[in-house]
Amino acid sequence: MKVLVPVKRVVDYNVKVRVKSDQTGVDIANVKMSMNPFDEIAVEEAMRLKEKGTVSEVVAISCGVAQCQETLRTAMAIGADRGVLVQTDEELQPLAVAKILKGIAEKEQPDLIILGKQAIDDDANQTGQMLAALMGWPQATFASKVEVADGKATVTREIDGGLETLELTLPAIVTTDLRLNEPRYVTLPNIMKSKKKPLETLTPADFGVDVTPRLKTLKVVEPAARSAGIKVPDMAALVDKLKNEAKVV
């Protein structure tokens, strides 16, 4: 069976972004870009299913600027068999990405699509659920365990207050949470190998998708800053401050 894994190129999670002085957005010129961490978990999960023999082919997809090729190469270095880049310089919002992915899914006919639960740039947490709705497929979001057998995926999900388990009839959508797995380190030989793997480039128009943003960003500002307080010498001083100054205990 075939698995699709969409991967997003985002500002690296260690970078503290700066808001542009003209309030039009954050400054991403010359900052390190990486694969969205939750998407890395998604690629890893697909590879583990392949290594178990459940899955025969893993296809990585990325939507965005030409440099998303690098993100696809990373996915292929982890082990994805090939990559598809849907290239555009337009700002892509989750609904547009979900529509592009629907076009790819209809062409590729996968049994499973594994996505990260959210991207760490726009923090939207939408694309997987939107894709599931557009495809009319069942979904299991925020997965911490995935087992695939006999045309079903049994998925344990992180929910408020604990865990729940769902059984989905394939084809289905899974989105990854933090504890699903720990992605492997990419080795140099695998990076070299990834460069020889096929990478197809398409455009949103190939799927008839209008990617015009539906949400207009009017401005982007820094959050209200919180100033550092004081250091206390001991616990007696701390408890005194909490009781008599902050009055919170």
Partner 1 sequence: MSVLVIAEHDNAQLKAATLNVVAAATQIDSDVHVLVAGGDAQAVADEAAKVAGVTKVLMADSPALADALAENVAEQVLAVASDYSHILFASTAGGENVSPRVAAKLDVAQVSDIMTVISADTFERPIYAGNAIATVQSSDATKVLTVRTTSFDAVAAEGGSAEIVKIDSVADSGGSEFIGRELATSDRPELAGAAVVVSGGRGMGSADNFKILDPLADKLGAALGASRAAVDAGYAPNDWQVGQTGKIVAPQLYVAVGISGAIQHLAGMKDSKVIVAINKDGEAPIFGVSDYGYVGDLFEAVPEMVTTL
d(CA 158, CA 160): 7
Q: Per CB under 8 A, which of residues 21..40 are in contact with partner 1?
A: 26, 38
Residues in 122-161 at the binding interface with partner 1, rule: CB under 8 A: 122-134, 137-142, 144, 154, 158-161
- Please count the CA atoms within 13 angstroms of the CA of 118 that sit on its side-chain side: 9
Number of Cβ within 10 Å of residue 248's Cβ equals: 7
Contact flag: residue 242 with partner 1 (CB under 8 A): yes
Element at 115 (helix H, strand E): strand 112-116
**Residue among 47, 187, 28 at smallest CA distance from 122:** 28
Shortest distance, position 43 Cβ to partner 1, whole Å: 17
Total residues at the site for partner 1 (CB under 8 A)? 79
Find the binding residues for partner 1 in span 157-196 (CB under 8 A). Answer: 158-169, 172, 177-179
Alpha-carbon distance of 51 to 76, in angstroms, equals 15
Tokens of 46: 């697909």
Tell me the closest approach of the beta carbon of residue 44 to partner 1, in angstroms: 14
State yes or no: residue 218 binds partner 1 (CB under 8 A): yes
- Minimum distance, C-beta of residue 243 to partner 1, in the bound complex (Å): 9
CB of 109 to partner 1, least distance (A): 17
Q: Which of 94, 101, 110, 181 lies at the binding interface for partner 1 (CB under 8 A)?
A: 94
Least gap, CB of 39 to partner 1 (angstroms): 13
- 84 in Cβ contact with 104 (< 8 Å): yes
What is the rounded distance in angstroms from the CA atom of residue 225 to the CA atom of residue 36? 26
Residue 188 or 249 with smaller CB distance to partner 1: 249
Judge contact between 6 and 26, C-beta under 8 A.
Answer: no
CB of 214 to partner 1, least distance (A): 4
State the Rg of the chain over Cα.
21
Cα–Cα distance list, 161 to 108, 123, 140, 158 (Å): 37, 22, 17, 8
Out of 29, 53, 196, 231, the residue judged to bind partner 1 by CB under 8 A: 231
Q: Which range of residues in 45-53, 68-76, 90-98, 198-206 is near partner 1 by CB under 8 A?
A: 90-98
Site for partner 1 contains 5 (CB under 8 A): no
Q: Which residue lies nearer to partner 1 by CB, 94 or 204?
A: 94
